[in-house]
């Protein structure tokens, strides 16, 4: 067993609820107190179990035998998923009143950036529940069962999805162009052309993402938010953000959000999840 730490406060009920709503059947099992998922990296496969304990501000992590050789890597990916390195005091100081009601909100990252790219593409113009179901279909069609854990499978690798047929993917319930986009991203990931790690220039990185077929501004920014866990991303084109900033253009919304730099990703979460929030008309 391994132990990870974080700086309180941390809203674990919200974080686990956010991830549970997006859980991919066969890959993840998430309860109110525990996160479990399959994982495959560099030829190692197994199961990760993470259980946060608020009282001690620690997370207990168990890795199945197959992942022991890459334990440090697995722990780093969990720290990214749960934003464990966040200093909530810095965020509170930057967000002021916006973050006062929920100082324990953290930025959900990901365990596997390629998997997150697939999720972002499949999440276009559909509900959260529908995106999770469609992602599960892709995982079940192209992923491989995890022999050491009954009922679990490993999310498909870029190589496995690159070899898929667009028509086959379409049959799972997605538009043909989206299927073609998945294959194109998988091929680019195989070649190292798709940026799976946080670039030095995030703004340029987001622009580069939009050069891939099927990835528009919203998808690029959402992937940057979670796949890279970029801390200074805002989504002025997002449906709910447009509702929150009613009467403002995306450009006006973007300018308004500049007050929260360099922590706009956290501001985005608070705006999303603060019912009834409206921008200050006087600022």
Distance separating alpha carbons of residues 276 and 243, to the nearest angstrom? 10
Q: Does residue 244 belong to any structural domain of this protein?
A: no
Q: Does residue 209 belong to any structural domain of this protein?
A: yes
Q: Does residue 6 belong to any structural domain of this protein?
A: yes
Which of the listed residues 203, 226, 249 is the one where a domain comes to its end? 226
Instruction: Please give the pLDDT value at position 148.
Output: 85
Residue 281 clears pLDDT 80, i.e. is over it: no
Whether residues 6 and 82 share a domain: the answer is: yes
Model confidence pLDDT, tens digit, residues 188-229: 999 999 999 999 999 999 999 999 999 999 999 999 999 999
Residue 16 clears pLDDT 90, i.e. is over it: yes
**Average pLDDT over every residue of 154-168:** 97
Longest dimension (CA), the chain: 60
Whether residues 56 and 133 share a domain: the answer is: no
Report how far apart the first and last C-alpha atoms of the chain are (Å, whole number). Answer: 50
Residue 283 clears pLDDT 70, i.e. is over it: no
Enzyme catalytic residues: 238
What domain range includes position 209?
Answer: 113-226
Q: Is the distance from CB of 229 to CB of 83 less than 8 angstroms?
A: yes
Whether residues 88 and 150 share a domain: the answer is: no
Name the pairing type of β-strands 44-53 and 35-41.
Answer: antiparallel
Whether residues 89 and 179 share a domain: the answer is: no
Which of the listed residues 209, 226, 243 is the one where a domain comes to its end? 226
Which residues have CB under 8 Å from 251's CB, separation 6+? 236
Percentage of the chain exceeding pLDDT 90: 94
Which of the listed residues 33, 65, 100 is the one where a domain comes to its end? 100
Residue 86 clears pLDDT 80, i.e. is over it: yes
**Average pLDDT over every residue of 104-126:** 96
Q: Does residue 175 belong to any structural domain of this protein?
A: yes
Whether residues 146 and 214 share a domain: the answer is: yes
Model confidence pLDDT, tens digit, residues 224-276: 999 999 999 999 989 999 999 999 999 999 999 999 999 999 999 999 999 88
Whether residues 58 and 136 share a domain: the answer is: no
Residue 74 clears pLDDT 60, i.e. is over it: yes
Q: Does residue 276 belong to any structural domain of this protein?
A: no
Whether residues 22 and 45 share a domain: the answer is: yes
Residue 104 clears pLDDT 90, i.e. is over it: yes
Whether residues 174 and 79 share a domain: the answer is: no
Instruction: Please give the pLDDT value at position 125.
Output: 86
Residue 24 clears pLDDT 70, i.e. is over it: yes
The CATH number of the domain holding residue 127 is 1.10.340.30
Q: Does residue 144 belong to any structural domain of this protein?
A: yes
Number of domains in the chain: 2
Whether residues 145 and 82 share a domain: the answer is: no
Model confidence pLDDT, tens digit, residues 52-69: 999 999 999 999 999 999
Cα–Cα nearest to 28, from 153, 115, 179? 153
Taken in order 183, 184, 185, 187, is the CA torsion positive or negative?
positive
Q: Does residue 253 belong to any structural domain of this protein?
A: no
**Average pLDDT over every residue of 15-30:** 98
Instruction: Please give the pLDDT value at position 282.
Output: 57
Whether residues 79 and 6 share a domain: the answer is: yes
Whether residues 118 and 27 share a domain: the answer is: no
Distance separating alpha carbons of residues 63 and 67, to the nearest angstrom? 6
pTM over 0.85: yes
Whether residues 54 and 80 share a domain: the answer is: yes
Q: Does residue 106 belong to any structural domain of this protein?
A: no
């Amino acid at each position: 067993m391994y132990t990870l730490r974080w700086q309180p406060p941390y809203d674990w009920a919200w974080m686990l609820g956010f991830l549970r709503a997006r859980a991919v059947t066969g890959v993840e099992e998430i309860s109110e107190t525990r996160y479990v998922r399959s994982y495959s990296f560099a030829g190692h496969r197994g199961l990760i179990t993470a259980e946060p304990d608020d009282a001690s501000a620690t997370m207990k992590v168990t890795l199945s035998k197959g992942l022991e050789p890459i334990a440090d890597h697995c722990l780093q990916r969990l720290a990214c998923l749960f934003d464990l390195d966040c200093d909530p005091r810095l965020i509170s100081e930057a967000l002021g009143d916006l973050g006062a009601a929920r100082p324990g909100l953290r930025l959900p990252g990901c365990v596997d950036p390629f998997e997150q790219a697939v999720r972002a593409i499949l999440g276009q113009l559909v509900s959260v529940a529908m995106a999770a179901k469609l992602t599960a279909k892709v995982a079940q069609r192209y992923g491989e069962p995890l022999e050491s854990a009954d009922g679990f499978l490993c999310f498909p690798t870029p190589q496995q999805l690159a070899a898929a047929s667009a028509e086959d993917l379409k049959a799972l319930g997605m538009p043909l162009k989206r299927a073609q986009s998945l294959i194109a991203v998988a091929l680019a990931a195989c070649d190292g052309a798709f940026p799976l790690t946080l670039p030095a220039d995030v703004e340029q990185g987001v622009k580069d993402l939009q050069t891939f077929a099927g990835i528009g501004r919203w998808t690029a920014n959402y992937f940057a938010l979670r796949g890279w866990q970029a801390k200074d991303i805002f989504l002025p084109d997002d449906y709910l953000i447009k509702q929150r900033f009613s009467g403002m253009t995306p450009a006006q919304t973007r300018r308004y959000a500049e007050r929260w730099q360099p922590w706009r990703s956290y501001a985005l979460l608070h705006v999303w999840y603060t019912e009834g929030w409206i921008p200050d008309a006087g600022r």
